[in-house]
């Protein structure tokens, strides 16, 4: 068994583009769920809105690249307003139902034959990332021995981790401001906040929009990294992975979603490499117990079991506070 190969696989994913996308999605969820108590099960919809906001603006409407960047930020705000207006005055579970349904509706609309001229159908859209690629200042890639990234990947990772860092700084500053303290108060007891004259609905809408925009930045990054947008990339699985990363790192902690995303993808890749080496011909696990095909899936079972145990023995996550993840059942 090659331990170095397992470590290399884990670090490659932990520092790679997938970790960036889910870190940004989880930071947005942290504002929704961790700080405000909003149950958003449709973060994939906000990620898709950011990605398609860029792609549709540049490819379909032939607008400049910078306009596409602006639309990638505006689109999640519009989606937040559409979803928040009918639901944020109601119980938390209504928002959860509406968001998960809207994310699936968006995915089917983006992939529909009827809207193919606008969204590209199941094949998606391409041809919008050239200005981003042309701005690459690196002349070569980076090889650290354990991990290696090509020239284009290095540029994408630089931009991606800068976005993550800026998002963390923004959340850190906002949550220490009076606005952030109102959000925490809403999570604990929104009736008490309302009795003090605060417009709870407006604060919830602002939180939903801000978290959606940060999730949209994840979609923007993913679109630029892949140089394409495809509807299948924005399934509900993306939301659940982002929630797993958030809960792993710790809700209502600035760095919790980032550390959680890094650990999540490290474990996914490292466990996959470990079981791939262990099963099948030459492995120490007999084929009668685990085949090569099963080895690629067992990592999800092991990671799911680890998260279950974490929720039992440390429900606040690695860096979280148990009081921060209490869900208001109203």
Contact between 212 and 80 (Cβ < 8 Å): yes
CB 221 within 8 A of CB 159: yes
Q: Given the DSSP bridges, would you call strands 228-229 and 148-149 parallel, antiparallel or unpaired?
A: unpaired
Contact 96, 84 (CB under 8 A): no
Please name the helix (run of DSSP H) or strand (run of DSSP E) that holds residue 143, with its range, or none. Answer: strand 142-143
The domain ranges of the chain are 17-235
Distance CA 79, CA 46 (A): 7
pLDDT 10s per residue in the chain (330 long)? 688 999 999 999 999 999 999 999 999 999 999 999 999 999 999 999 999 999 999 999 999 999 999 999 999 999 999 999 999 988 888 999 999 999 999 999 999 999 999 999 999 999 999 999 999 999 999 998 889 999 999 999 999 999 999 999 999 999 999 999 999 999 999 999 999 999 999 999 999 999 999 999 999 999 999 999 999 999 999 999 999 999 999 999 999 999 999 999 999 999 989 888 888 666 778 777 777 778 778 888 888 898 889 888 888 888 887 666 554 444
What are the phi and psi torsion angles at 228 (to 5°)? Answer: -165, 160
C-alpha 95/C-alpha 91 separation (Å) is 7
């Amino acid at each position: 068994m090659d331990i170095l190969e397992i470590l290399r696989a884990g670090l490659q994913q932990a520092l790679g583009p997938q970790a960036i996308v889910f870190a940004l999605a989880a930071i947005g969820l942290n504002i929704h769920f961790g700080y405000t108590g909003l149950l958003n099960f449709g973060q994939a919809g906000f990620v898709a809105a950011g990605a398609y906001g860029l792609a549709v603006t540049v490819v379909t409407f032939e607008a400049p690249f910078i306009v596409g960047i602006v639309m990638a930020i505006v689109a999640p705000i519009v989606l937040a307003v559409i979803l928040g207006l009918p639901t944020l005055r109601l119980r938390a579970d209504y928002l959860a139902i509406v968001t998960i349904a809207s994310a699936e509706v968006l995915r089917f609309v983006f992939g529909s034959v009827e809207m193919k001229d606008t969204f590209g159908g199941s094949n998606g859209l391409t041809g919008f990332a050239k200005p981003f690629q042309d701005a690459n200042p690196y002349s070569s890639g980076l090889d650290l021995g354990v991990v290696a990234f090509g020239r284009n990947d290095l540029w994408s990772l630089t931009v991606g981790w800068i976005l993550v860092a800026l998002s963390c700084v923004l959340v850190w500053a906002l949550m220490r401001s009076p606005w952030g303290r109102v959000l925490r108060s809403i999570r604990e007891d929104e009736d008490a906040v309302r009795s003090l004259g605060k417009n709870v609905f407006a604060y919830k809408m602002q939180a939903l929009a801000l978290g959606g925009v940060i999730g949209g930045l994840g979609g923007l990054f993913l679109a630029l990294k892949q140089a394409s947008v495809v509807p299948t990339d924005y399934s509900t699985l993306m939301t659940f992975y982002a929630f797993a990363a958030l809960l792993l790192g710790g809700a209502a902690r600035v760095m919790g979603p980032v550390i959680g995303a890094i650990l999540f993808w490290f474990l996914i890749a490292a466990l996959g490499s470990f079981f791939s080496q262990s099963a099948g011909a030459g492995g120490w696990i007999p084929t009668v117990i685990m085949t090569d095909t099963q080895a690629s899936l067992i990592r999800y079972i092991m990671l799911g079991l680890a998260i279950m145990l974490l929720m039992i023995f440390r429900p606040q996550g690695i860096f979280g506070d148990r009081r921060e993840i209490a869900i208001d059942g109203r």
